[in-house]
Structure 1
Amino acid sequence: MRDTLAEIEKFRREAGEKLDEKIYDAYGFDFNPVLWGYTTSSFLDELAKILTT
């Protein structure tokens, strides 16, 4: 779990302001958090919250 949380934070740091673009580059149309009512950032926040509970 800690490794996954660290990967989320690393991804955010490396993507910076291009978080949406980097998610699209990595996953293409296979992953779109907007379809589930999230922004990329809020999805990663929710994922981290789930992993820490």
Structure 2
Amino acid sequence: REDIFMFNIESQAELELLEELCSELHLKTRVSLRINPDVDPHTHPYITTGLGE
């Protein structure tokens, strides 16, 4: 349990699952949220990031 520094969360479903598991086990954990702002920086398509899926 102490070897995991942080969970990287990429969806609401992942966050809800982790919340449920931590609640059942009476644990607290750190999370990092991946945010997808859906902004087009008008760069080369191979290096563009942050667009909507």
What is the TM-score normalised by the length of structure 1?
Answer: 0.28
RCO comparison, higher one (Cα < 8 Å, 6+): 1
Comparing both structures, which one devotes a greater share of its residues to helix?
Answer: 1
What is the TM-score normalised by the length of structure 2?
Answer: 0.28
Comparing both structures, which one devotes a greater share of its residues to strand?
Answer: 2
Higher CA-based Rg? 2
